[in-house]
Amino acid sequence: MSGKGGVGKTTVSVNLASELARRGYSVGILDTDLTGPNIPKALGLLNAPIYATDEGIIPAEGPLKMKVMSMGLLIREGDPVIWRGPLKAKAIQEFVNNVQWGELDWLIVDLPPGTGDEPLSVMQLIPLDGVVLVTTPQEVAIMDVRRAIHMVRKMNYRVLGIVENMSYFTCPGGEKVRIFGGEGGKRLAEEENVPFLGEIPIHPKVSELTDKGLPIVISDPDNPVSLAFKDIVDKIEDMLR
Ligand SMILES: Nc1ncnc2c1ncn2[C@@H]1O[C@H](COP(=O)(O)OP(=O)(O)OP(=O)(O)O)[C@@H](O)[C@H]1O
Ligand SMILES: [Mg+2]
């Protein structure tokens, strides 16, 4: 979750899920961004067929046998979804209750930005073990993520921690440049007294591989971005063990 758009929620969801799947867990990914469902593209599932049985919808199968459900699998590319709150809540309820997830070790839920209908529905419908907040270092992102933390607390859920994405860029010469400023994520974690899960650098391969539907932790496991994700998954695994 994040209060802010475009900070990397989908990237973080896909790569946390992929790293967990790499570790041998059975993993599901639920995309609750109903109006901007990006998960199918990020997992190379844009044209994946979806089947329904009497028992419900069968999720699509992504890399490493991850089970994937997203509005993007149900509509044609380019079709807009223009829905108000109650309909969104209903769709999320369908995704939770009428999709044949089977036995999962982990269900990773990707959210749209903000503290609106979708996160509210998710927190009301799914007994979550916790929420990972994603931010970038800038003050505007931090402000919105603070709001999201307070929402999670109001709903009595555990904040597993903050992931700071796009923290810095390493130049070809080796110099680390903090393009979006200082260590906002770490500071926010201290101020809100929640764990800081780690920094993810900016790397051109992230968007390049996402556009190809290949999560970076699978397709380039030694990339500094992938190593950062592994470190974050270590922490989350420890917390929920
Ligand atoms: N660490 C990174 N390095 C380089 N590019 C990144 C990184 N993280 C994310 N991106 C790119 O930034 C863009 C936004 O990321 P993403 O879609 O994950 O954000 P989001 O928070 O899910 O956005 P939205 O709020 O629209 O759902 C994508 O093109 C993604 O590939
Ligand atoms: Mg997204």
The 10s digit of each residue's pLDDT in 70-80 is 999 998 888 88
The model carries a pTM of 0.97
Atom 16, ligand 1: which residue's CA is nearest? Answer: 8
The letter for the amino acid at 130 is G
CA 59, chain centre distance (Å): 17
Q: How would DSSP label each residue in 78-117?
A: T------HHHHHHHHHHHHHSB---S-SEEEEE--SSSSH
- Ligand 1 centroid from CA 179, angstroms: 15
pLDDT in tens, 100-125: 999 999 999 999 999 999 999 999 99
Nearest-CA residue for atom 29 of ligand 1? 207
* CB neighbours of residue 103 within 10 Å: 6
Q: Which atom in ligand 1 lies closest to the alpha carbon of residue 110?
A: 22
Average pLDDT over residues 45-64: 92
Which residue segments constitute the domains of the chain, with CATH numbers given?
A: 9-240 (3.40.50.300)
Element holding 132 (H helix, E strand): strand 131-135
Q: For strands 159-165 and 56-58, give the pairing.
A: unpaired
What residue owns the CA closest to ligand 1's atom 26?
6
Mean pLDDT of the chain: 95
Substitution site in 4, 10, 170 for ligand 1 pocket (most atoms within 8 Å of beta carbon): 10
* Distance in angstroms (rounded) separating the CA atoms of residues 137 and 150: 19
Protein residues within 5 Å, CB atom, of ion ligand 2: 9-10, 38
DSSP-derived secondary structure for 18-80: HHHHHTT--EEEEE--SSS--HHHHTT-TT---EEETTEEEPEE-GGG-EEEEGGGTS-TT--
Under a CB-based contact definition with an 8 Å cutoff, are residues 196 and 161 in contact?
Answer: yes
DSSP 158: -
Share of the chain above pLDDT 90, in %: 87
For residue 80, the model assigns a pLDDT of 86
Q: How many CB atoms lie within 10 A of CB 179?
A: 12
**pLDDT at residue 49, rounded to an integer:** 85
Pocket test for ligand 1, best of 1, 4, 11 (most atoms within 8 A of CB): 11
Kind plus residue range of the DSSP H or E element containing 162: strand 159-165
The encoded tokens of residue 12 equal 């973080």
For the segment 227-232, the average pLDDT, to the nearest whole number, is: 98
Buried b / exposed e across 181-216, counting CB within 10 Å, b at 16+?
Answer: eebbbbebbeeeebebbbbbbbbeebeebbeebbbb
pLDDT-based confidence at residue 81 (cuts at 50, 70, 90): confident
pLDDT over threshold 90, residue 210: yes
pLDDT at residue 75, as a whole number: 87
> What tens digit of pLDDT does each residue of 122-134 get?
999 999 999 999 9
Residue 99 has pLDDT above 90, yes or no: yes
Residues in contact with ligand 1 by the CB-under-6-Å rule are 2, 5-11, 33, 36, 38, 112-113, 165-166, 200, 202-203, 206-207, 210, 225
- Whole-number pLDDT of residue 222: 98
Q: How far is the CA of 8 from the centre of ligand 1 (A)?
A: 4
**pLDDT confidence tier of residue 3, bands split at 50, 70 and 90:** confident
pLDDT band at residue 202 under the 50/70/90 scheme: very high
Give the pLDDT score at 102. Answer: 95
pLDDT tier, 142 (very low <50, low <70, confident <90, very high otherwise): very high
**Residue 198: helix, strand or coil by DSSP?**
strand
Atom of ligand 1 nearest to the CA of 225: 1
For the chain, how many residues are written?
241
Percent of the chain beyond pLDDT 70?
100
The secondary structure element, H or E, covering residue 200 is strand 196-200
Q: What is the pLDDT of residue 83?
A: 86
Q: Measure 6 CA to ligand 1 centroid, in angstroms.
A: 5
Nearest atom in ligand 1 to 13's CA? 18
135 vs 166: CA distance, rounded Å: 9
Mean pLDDT, range 145-150, rounded to an integer = 96
Pull the structure tokens for residue 141.
């992102």
- Which residue lies with its CA nearest to atom 8 of ligand 1? 8
